[in-house]
Structure 1
Amino acid sequence: MKFLFRLSFVVLCVFFYQCDDAPKKKEISKKENLKSEKIIEKDTIAIDEEKKWNTINSSNTEDFLLAYGKENPETKVIIKTKFGNIKIRLFEDVPAHRASFIYLTKNEYFNTTVIYRVAKNFVIQGGNSDNYLTVEERTKHGNYLIKPEFKKHRIHKYGSLAAAREWDNNPNKLSNPFEFYVVQNKKGAPHLDNQHTVFGEVFEGFDTMTKISKVEVGADDWPMDEIPITVEILE
């Protein structure tokens, strides 16, 4: 009888111990989960912060380009077409535009585009296409705009490279980094000074420019036969 009483007492103790311990286990588990959530949240913030500076966007454009320019000092590029090559020197005193062109070149954005406008005796314009891949690439690289970097000595002379921009609803004259043009008129285009940022100049390939200027064009000066381009870094 004593044995049965002791056995019952032990069973009850174990039962009450387990019941009392269960909430503690749940509490510990809850604390561990909260701790895990905080770690994940912290890691997510770190990843988002890193992503913010690994890609350019409308909120970090200037800082990103200036930092990128310091790490990527190249100033010469080559535009390859079926009519020949055009070699261009980028100016260092327009740092954001130079860095942007190098950034897009290294990320091969321009290789999805064409020379989409040949305005006779005026300009040759590239950096766009009717290819959906071009739109995807623009979105991928931020679809940002650049503040103008006008310089008195950077004028629209023959062979000048400049950034295209929207004229409507763009009072700050922000540049479209994806589209560029080269002045093909030998007298230059002085009416565009302080309207578009000049950020480079052709130093070789003027004969190629002449060949391109003679192609047949249709509506909006778009060449009848497509002129794909690739842009590469020279030095």
Structure 2
Amino acid sequence: MSATENKSDLINMDLKTGRVVIRLRPDLAPLAAERIRTLSAEGFYDNTPFHRVIHGFMAQGGDPTGTGTSGSKLPDLKAEFTNKAKFERGTVGMARTMNPDSANSQFFIMFEPSPHLDGQYTIVGQVIEGMDHIDKVKRGAGQSGMVQDPDRIIKMRPADAEA
């Protein structure tokens, strides 16, 4: 992979505490990686909340309504499950309903390994810098992890689209 191709797979996510860099994994999930890149380039994720955050599990965002029930205007994606990668700390997965082919714009970032998700959810990327900022995202309450007055993504763009 050349340096140019490498940078095209990087997404910069700015939070109030600093920058998080995500390396997309088009080798594992080409459809989901392209979706995250497209929506990031459009500014879709700007000011969206981390609406569901469960201590020791994950932080979920990417829903413009903050309810966990919405997505982009683009069609839902087919599942891209793999056994080649595991849900480890910093793994970025595509959120979905009980229907495996319902991922759209929502994603989650793992705080800890979660082997029960392996092969059940699409892995779209990995946090390669700034995981300490994800660790500081406000947690939700109860089993649902829904957050009152949640932390928000300030700005999220492909690295090669930034000046």
Higher helix share: 1
Name segments (4+ residues, structure 1) moved above 2 Å. Answer: 129-132, 215-220, 222-226
Two-structure CA RMSD over aligned residues (Å):
2.3
Q: Distance in 1 between matches of 2:132 and 2:47?
A: 24
Looking at CA atoms only, which structure, 1 or 2, has the larger radius of gyration? Answer: 1
How do 1:146-225 residues align onto structure 2 when only pairs under 5 Å count?
Answer: 146-167=77-98, 170=99, 173-185=100-112, 188-212=113-137, 215-218=138-141, 220-225=144-149
Contact 2:78 2:103 in 1 (8 A): no
- Equivalent position amino acid for 1:182 in 2: I
Q: Report the CA distance between 1:203 and its aligned residue.
A: 0.4
Spell out, residue by residue over 1:100-133, the C-alpha distance to the aligned partner (whole angstroms, 9 max, x if none). 111111111111411111101000111114369x
Does 2:59 match 1:124?
yes
Q: Percent identity?
A: 26
Q: Distance in 1 between matches of 2:58 and 2:19?
A: 17
How do 1:1-235 residues align onto structure 2 when only pairs under 5 Å count?
Answer: 74-93=8-27, 94-130=29-65, 138=72, 141-142=73-74, 144-167=75-98, 170=99, 173-185=100-112, 188-212=113-137, 215-218=138-141, 220-229=144-153, 230-235=155-160
Contact 1:125 1:180 in 2 (8 A): yes
- Equivalent position amino acid for 1:183 in 2: M
Spell out, residue by residue over 1:39-72, the C-alpha distance to the aligned partner (whole angstroms, 9 max, x if none). xxxxxxxxxxxxxxxxxxxxxxxxxxxxxxxxxx
- Equivalent position amino acid for 2:56 in 1: N
Larger RCO, structures 1/2 (Cα 8 Å, 6+ apart): 2
- Equivalent position amino acid for 2:152 in 1: P
TM-score, normalization by structure 2 = 0.82
* Structure 1: stretches of 5+ with no match in the other structure: 1-72
Secondary structure of the corresponding residue to residue 227 of structure 1: coil
Distance 1:105 1:190, change over 3 A: same
